């Protein structure tokens, strides 16, 4: 199971939110590039970056910061937030991103997402952010009527291999992940499930790995020194 430390960006700065609420943003005294270098130095070979301004506004607001992360980290970088056009997909891939994450556009223009997957294959992931089992879009501010698990099944059936599922109620709360939802999601044929939201212990890393989760994203638990990244990587990625 791959371990992805997260770098969330607002106004060019590294932040963490609580339960997807932008008003709770806590800014950390580290640049995005230095955070990425630090994670790499601690053994992380994969990084999850999100342009939170982009997610809310619908365009790649912090693209320059993301490019610096890609250029300096030494890691495989997946990037999400505000990616809603093919030109932005191409721009990030040309900059060296290992994978581009589609979110809002996957809900609002499913055909675009299917076309992107057909063209770019596993360089495309879809982020499914869920609030009470419904898919949230536009930086988590709008809750749709789309059932989150059914949407994941639809994505997998359409050829989307990499699905990043975030339970918003857990995200940034340091209260643990929703293991039950991942136990359901790993049963979806053809999908690599990434768990995101609330992971704060090595025991959860072990539990998610046993479930067959493909990857896990670690956020606030790292920034608040509740979880040791090197130990998490060793546990998650060992045979």
Residue-range domain boundaries for the chain: 2-237
The region that residue 47 occupies, defined by phi over 0 for left and psi between -120 and 50 for alpha, beta otherwise, is: beta
Q: What's the pLDDT score for residue 176?
A: 86
| Catalytic site includes residue 129 | yes
Q: What dihedral do alpha carbons 71, 73, 76, 78 form, nearest 10°?
A: -80
Q: Report the candidate in 197, 194, 192, 193 with the shortest Cα–Cα distance to residue 218.
A: 197
pLDDT in tens, 136-146: 998 777 899 99
Q: What's the pLDDT score for residue 168?
A: 87
Q: What's the pLDDT score for residue 173?
A: 67
| Catalytic site includes residue 167 | no
Which helix H or strand E contains 232, and what residues bound it? helix 229-237
Of residues 8, 51, 53, 171, which has the active-site annotation? 8
Across the strands, what pairs with 181? none
Q: What's the pLDDT score for residue 31?
A: 97
Q: What's the pLDDT score for residue 238?
A: 87
Q: What's the pLDDT score for residue 169?
A: 79
Cα–Cα distance measured from residue 177 to residue 14, given in angstroms and rounded to the nearest whole number: 22
Q: What's the pLDDT score for residue 20?
A: 81
Q: What's the pLDDT score for residue 171?
A: 74
pLDDT in tens, 168-197: 878 766 778 999 999 999 999 999 999 999
Q: pTM score, two decimals?
A: 0.95
**Which residues does the chain have with pLDDT short of 70?**
172-173
- What number does CATH give the domain 2-237? 3.20.20.70
Cα–Cα distance measured from residue 60 to residue 24, given in angstroms and rounded to the nearest whole number: 22
Of residues 51, 53, 129, 171, which has the active-site annotation? 129
| Contact (CB, 8 A) for 205 and 236 | yes
Q: What's the pLDDT score for residue 239?
A: 75
Q: What's the pLDDT score for residue 129?
A: 94
Q: What's the pLDDT score for residue 111?
A: 96
Which helix H or strand E contains 136, and what residues bound it? strand 134-137
């Amino acid at each position: 199971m791959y371990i992805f430390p997260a770098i969330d960006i607002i106004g060019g700065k590294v932040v963490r939110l609580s339960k997807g609420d932008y008003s709770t943003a806590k800014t950390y005294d580290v640049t995005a590039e230095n955070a990425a270098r630090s994670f790499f130095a601690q053994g992380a070979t994969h990084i999850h970056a999100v342009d939170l301004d982009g997610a809310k506004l619908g365009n790649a607001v912090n693209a320059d910061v993301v490019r610096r992360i890609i250029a300096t980290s030494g890691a495989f970088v997946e990037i999400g937030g505000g990616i809603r056009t093919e030109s932005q997909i191409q721009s990030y891939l040309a900059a060296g991103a290992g994978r581009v994450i589609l979110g809002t556009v996957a809900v609002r223009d499913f055909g675009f997402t299917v076309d992107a997957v057909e063209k770019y294959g596993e360089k495309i992931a879809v982020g499914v952010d869920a609030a009470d089992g419904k898919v949230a879009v536009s930086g988590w501010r709008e809750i749709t009527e789309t059932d989150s698990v059914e949407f994941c099944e639809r994505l997998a059936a359409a050829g989307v291999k990499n699905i990043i599922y975030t339970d918003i109620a857990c995200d940034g709360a340091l209260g643990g992940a929703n293991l039950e939802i991942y136990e359901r999601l790993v049963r979806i044929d053809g999908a690599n499930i990434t768990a995101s939201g609330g992971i704060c212990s090595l025991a959860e890393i072990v539990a998610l790995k046993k479930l067959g989760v493909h990857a896990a994203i670690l956020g606030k638990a790292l920034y608040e020194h509740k979880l040791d990244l090197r130990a998490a990587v060793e546990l998650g990625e060992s045979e």
